[in-house]
Structure 1
Amino acid sequence: MWIPDHLDPDGPRYLAVVKALEDDIANGRAVDGMALAPQRELAYQLGLSVGTVVRAYSVAQQRGLIAGEVGRGTFVKGRAGQAETRFFGDGSAHQDSRKAGTIDLSVNVAPPLRQAERVGNALRAVANATELPQMLRYGVHLGADGQRRALAEWLDRTSAGRYAPSTDRIAICIGAQQAIWAVCSSVLRPGQTILAEAVTFAGIKSVAGLLGANLCGVDMDEHGLIPEALEEACAKTQARALYLMPTLQNPTGTTMPEARRAEIAAIAQHHGLTVIEDDVYGFLAPDAPPPLASLLPDRTCYVSSFSKSVAPGLRAGFAVLPPALTRGVEAAMRASCWMSPLLTMETVCRLMRHDGLDGIVAQRREEARQRLEIAESVLSGLFPKIDWRKARFHLWLATRDWVEAEQVVRRAMEAGVLIAPPDAVATERASPPGIRLCLGSPPDTGDLRSALMTVRAAFEAGDPATQICSTI
């Protein structure tokens, strides 16, 4: 059982516990699978409060150092365990963990692209372009001017003029994940805090862990972040940044009303927060309120990509930056990949210019609507409070507690349906319990319906008094 020999005398006590664990993993004293002392016992052994140890375990879990198992305890993830051989990123699994006949509801992606020929045509046009030799050379760190201009015009057009950033604020990235990392690495230092919704995108958990930052969840309701909870979190944590997804939030699917966005923007301004607004699902909700970035442009980094709307293999994303962050993000880009993805973003730009992108997006919206209708036909009897009107590729099923959520995941997995572990989207154990279903992952709708029937059976096999609800 792991108990540290000593703690560094400097800095917060919970970080000293985390550092001791990191050091012991590095020197081989704490090995993969070793049990950690229960939180109360470790607190007693070290002369710390239980709350301090709880926080230390939470940060260690965010950094991939430990993992909890219901009914067994908490265990060290050694170097092999930290490779995340079972789950990584947004709940997706390594191929060698898949079994024949398994249906995957764990990966939050759009279905296979039916109009792949449009992307193929754009790729061929890039290959035959007279500018190809120049695009094969090193480019500028934040992206070619023509591509940045095309993105600015596309944002203006698709938002009906409600969000029209200038070209010089746009940075082209290798997907939204790199944009999030670049922004966070420029504003956060180890030990500092970033806030996020109480249940959130797994990618921000990974970024916070890699940077040694503390990720603190903020309570939510059916409209997203609760303003009073954000005020309280700012006062308690002295947070530097806020990550949120106001439109079709992952995992809950909530869309923040315009008045709530204005409240959140005012709080962020008052507390000097750098806001990272992730809008990767915004294309599915053209009638959503204007982005938070339009209300707070000098403190908000608006981040999106074409992984959900077109294809993840393109690895084409972007960020709209406040002027004060441009230099820091540029330095992060230079350090990580040197330059923007010229060829793939040129492919996207050609889709924009020749209307291919509009057709693909329209098809994606229709696919999301059809798949949500299938989910409604199977699950609405158990979850009558879900808003079935908002087309999306993920669905949040709230549970009575974390134990029930983990039991449903286990039953579904035993029946051949893969669901991401509940803690994949939780910022901490106090987060609202539930599971996320990814409706776009199965390649066809027949598999989707079959998987959803299995999920329904997994819920019905539990306690008859299960709370059936869907809101935070």
Structure 2
Amino acid sequence: MGTIWPQSLSEAKGPKYKKVADTIRSAVDLGSLKTGAKLPPVRDLAYQLGITPGTVARAYSILTDEGVLEAEVGRGTFVAEKKKPVPDDVWSRQLHLLEARDPGHVSLFSPRIADMGQVAAMREALHKVAEGEARSFLNYPTRDAYLPVRQAAAAWVSQSPVGPVSESDVVLTHGGQNGLMVVLQAILTGPQPVIMVEDLTYAGFRRAAELLRAQVVEVAMDEHGIRPDSMELAIRKTGASVLCTSPEVHNPTGLHTPLERRKEIVRIARRHEVQIVEDDCYRLGETRTSSYRALAPELAWHVSSISKILTPALRVGFALAPEGRSTELRRAAEYGYFGLAQPLAELLRILLTDPRLPDLVAAVRGEMARYVRVAVNALGAFDLTWNPDVPFVWLRLPSGWRAAAFTRAAEANGVQIRSADEFALRDGRAPHAVRIAINAHVPLRQFEEAMLRLRALLDNPPEQISV
């Protein structure tokens, strides 16, 4: 155990408990401390390092909570067996716990939008909902009761170039992911339908497909998004009938598919009668070109939400069908969950018709852009894709770093980010890159410090490449 310490920590700068925890964690990762190895008692290690027993105890506690160590009453503290990776949703919950235990930890795992007054607006709206007619709390949802909500949603969605939208075209969903599920339930046919996705893609496409017993195949990308030749080949080889894509803001790379490329994709889709499902949930700003639904109104489906521009807490999204297929989409939603809870639908109506909404949205966009600029100032010397209206940046790692090793090193330095591997299909290949989400829940200065920690890692790649 003594060989893992480069020097006494008695005069080290910064929180000593973090340095103890980081050193032990690194030794476990490198194999210097094997599974089952017993660590010294707290007082013994404190004496060896010239620090207080409380400092060592805090480090042990952090590592035990993380699963690196395990404590057995009466026997001591040992290096725990490495656990299998946990699902993303479980890991996301753990991140909140890490932040609660360690204020220096910054999660850049998923975007967290700034509160620019929308929380106060939601509280006011909740009061209005609570004072509503008693029967609205006792009845099942009905289409007639939801007419004002759908009208407000249609007005909201129509701000983007998605083609003609009336209230009857809008299906209210429980967030964007639920919107994708409802759309796919409405259109997938056959014993094992095939869905095409970009070779790096939002994991929700894959999860929705798995739940619906569909096969997922990847389509190659270039700097403009989906490559038409790769899409045509995938259709011919697999008989794919659906393309799921994010052309306005591609998740995770932040790329944008220009109009001419979209038109090529539409020509192929029409030739092979392929349905296009467009996910438009990550855009904060104005659209740069027409959506697939506007370009191909007979075959394109559109999904969006308020999660990245107002709040993800309400879990509200919008799904639009192509011309003539709204009934299929409504049926899928009604059979699946009847509709949004009526109090939630009323809350949504109040928010979407609030005259302050345009200013709130503009303020959120402006504040998120401030955080993006800080990230660019810190990391712009590297291969970075960014946009002030996108709540994440995409970083291609310099020579010497692999994505898995970099994310581990970042976590050891109190910064949680996503590896490109998390966006690849299970048998696909991922570049050495990471997605860094914008977290406006932490002060701008703390966010900047996290960016500088990442830059320090980028400037100092390991001498040996980890695999």
Partner of 2:76: none
- 1:139-150 residue pairs with structure 2 within 5 A? 139-140=141-142, 144-150=146-152
When structure 1 is superposed on structure 2, of 398-407 and 306-315 the one drifting more is 398-407
* CA deviation profile, 1:317-339 (whole Å, cap 9, x unmatched): 11011256444433432343222
> Structure 1 residues 429 and 395, CA, compared in 2 at 3 Å: closer, same or farther?
same
Kindly provide the amino acid, as one letter, of the partner of residue 462 in structure 1: P
Is the CA contact 1:193–1:216 (under 8 Å) kept in the aligned structure 2? yes
Alpha-carbon distance in 2 for matches of 1:147, 1:402? 53
State yes or no: 1:449 paired with 2:452. no
* CA deviation profile, 1:128-148 (whole Å, cap 9, x unmatched): 334x62364211379822211
> Structure 1 residues 372 and 327, CA, compared in 2 at 3 Å: closer, same or farther?
same
Is the CA contact 1:306–1:312 (under 8 Å) kept in the aligned structure 2? yes
> Structure 1 residues 219 and 365, CA, compared in 2 at 3 Å: closer, same or farther?
same
Partner of 1:18: none
> Structure 1 residues 418 and 203, CA, compared in 2 at 3 Å: closer, same or farther?
same
State yes or no: 1:310 paired with 2:313. no
Kindly provide the amino acid, as one letter, of the partner of residue 236 in structure 2: A
Residue 163 (structure 1) shift: 3.2
Partner of 1:426: 424
Partner of 2:200: 199
Kindly provide the amino acid, as one letter, of the partner of residue 233 in structure 1: A
Alpha-carbon distance in 2 for matches of 1:163, 1:330? 19
Residue 356 (structure 1) shift: 2.7
Partner of 1:118: 121
Alpha-carbon distance in 2 for matches of 1:431, 1:389? 22
Kindly provide the amino acid, as one letter, of the partner of residue 424 in structure 2: A
Is the CA contact 2:176–2:303 (under 8 Å) kept in the aligned structure 1? yes
Partner of 1:357: 357
Where 1:111 maps in the other structure, the secondary structure is: coil
Counterpart pick for 2:413 among 401, 412, 415: 415
Residue 452 (structure 1) shift: 1.3
After TM superposition, the score normalised by the length of structure 2 is: 0.73
Is the CA contact 1:199–1:432 (under 8 Å) kept in the aligned structure 2? no
Alpha-carbon distance in 2 for matches of 1:414, 1:270? 51
Residue 153 (structure 1) shift: 2.3
Alpha-carbon distance in 2 for matches of 1:353, 1:401? 51
* CA deviation profile, 1:265-298 (whole Å, cap 9, x unmatched): 222222212211111133x231411211111122
Where 1:332 maps in the other structure, the secondary structure is: helix
Is the CA contact 1:249–1:255 (under 8 Å) kept in the aligned structure 2? yes
Where 2:186 maps in the other structure, the secondary structure is: helix
Residue 388 (structure 1) shift: 4.6
Residue 91 (structure 1) shift: 6.2
Where 2:368 maps in the other structure, the secondary structure is: helix
> Structure 1 residues 238 and 90, CA, compared in 2 at 3 Å: closer, same or farther?
farther
When structure 1 is superposed on structure 2, of 230-239 and 182-191 the one drifting more is 182-191
Tell me the matched-pair count: 379
> Structure 1 residues 178 and 221, CA, compared in 2 at 3 Å: closer, same or farther?
same
> Structure 1 residues 243 and 89, CA, compared in 2 at 3 Å: closer, same or farther?
farther
Alpha-carbon distance in 1 for matches of 2:93, 2:234? 30
Is the CA contact 1:90–1:202 (under 8 Å) kept in the aligned structure 2? no
After TM superposition, the score normalised by the length of structure 1 is: 0.73
Partner of 1:16: none
* CA deviation profile, 1:377-407 (whole Å, cap 9, x unmatched): 1001123xx4555432111112379971111
- 1:34-183 residue pairs with structure 2 within 5 A? 85=86, 87-88=88-89, 93=94, 95-96=96-97, 100=102, 101-112=104-115, 114-130=117-133, 133-134=135-136, 136-140=138-142, 144-156=146-158, 158-159=159-160, 163-183=163-183
Alpha-carbon distance in 2 for matches of 1:289, 1:90? 36
> Structure 1 residues 425 and 377, CA, compared in 2 at 3 Å: closer, same or farther?
same
Alpha-carbon distance in 1 for matches of 2:354, 2:251? 31
Kindly provide the amino acid, as one letter, of the partner of residue 141 in structure 2: G
Partner of 1:71: none
Is the CA contact 2:199–2:428 (under 8 Å) kept in the aligned structure 1? no
Q: Alpha carbon RMSD of aligned pairs, Å?
A: 2.9
Alpha-carbon distance in 1 for matches of 2:122, 2:454? 35
Partner of 1:469: none
Where 2:436 maps in the other structure, the secondary structure is: strand
Is the CA contact 1:86–1:94 (under 8 Å) kept in the aligned structure 2? no
* CA deviation profile, 1:180-204 (whole Å, cap 9, x unmatched): 0111223335632211122111211
Alpha-carbon distance in 2 for matches of 1:431, 1:217? 12
State yes or no: 1:256 paired with 2:257. yes
Partner of 2:297: 297
Where 1:396 maps in the other structure, the secondary structure is: strand
Alpha-carbon distance in 2 for matches of 1:320, 1:154? 12
- 1:276-295 residue pairs with structure 2 within 5 A? 276-282=277-283, 284-295=284-295
Residue 409 (structure 1) shift: 0.3
